[in-house]
Amino acid sequence: MNLEVMPAHHSNENTAVDKMTRQVQARMYLDDMVDALSVLPDMERKVIILKYIEGLQWFAISDRLHLSVRRLQEVMQQALNDFGIAYAGTLDLLDEGE
């Protein structure tokens, strides 16, 4: 049988598997982010959540946490550094498990 003349088969099964794989990977990344957030100091975690998850403006975060906008931005800078280190640590742990 000459396979070259047969029509290419695009399986919905492959598409479904690809979609499930992407969903599993996205969930793993989300879990890693939650783990990284959980090890941050309380104030750093609050600032990241209020700014990036709840989408609040600096002045609203300032009112809620009773800190100046300048101080919040300093906390955010440290929080993002600490988050990056913590997140990289979770990725390192995943690499070791493979």
Its sign, for the CA torsion 69, 72, 74, 80, is: negative
pLDDT, tens digit (0-9, with 9 covering 90-100), for 21-80: 888 888 888 888 899 999 999 999 999 999 999 999 999 999 999 999 999 999 999 999
- What is the domain count for the chain? 1
- Where is pLDDT greater, at 93 or 16? 16
For 66, the domain range is 14-97
pLDDT for the residue 2: 54
CATH number at residue 24: 1.10.10.10
Do the domain assignments include residue 69? yes
Report the C-alpha gap between 50 and 79 in whole angstroms: 12
Range from 13-17, 45-49, 86-90, 93-97 carrying the lowest mean pLDDT: 93-97
Q: Is the pTM of this model over 0.95?
A: no
| Mean pLDDT value across residues 85-89 | 88
Packing angle between helix 12-38 and helix 69-97, nearest 10 degrees?
Answer: 120
Report the C-alpha gap between 82 and 61 in whole angstroms: 20
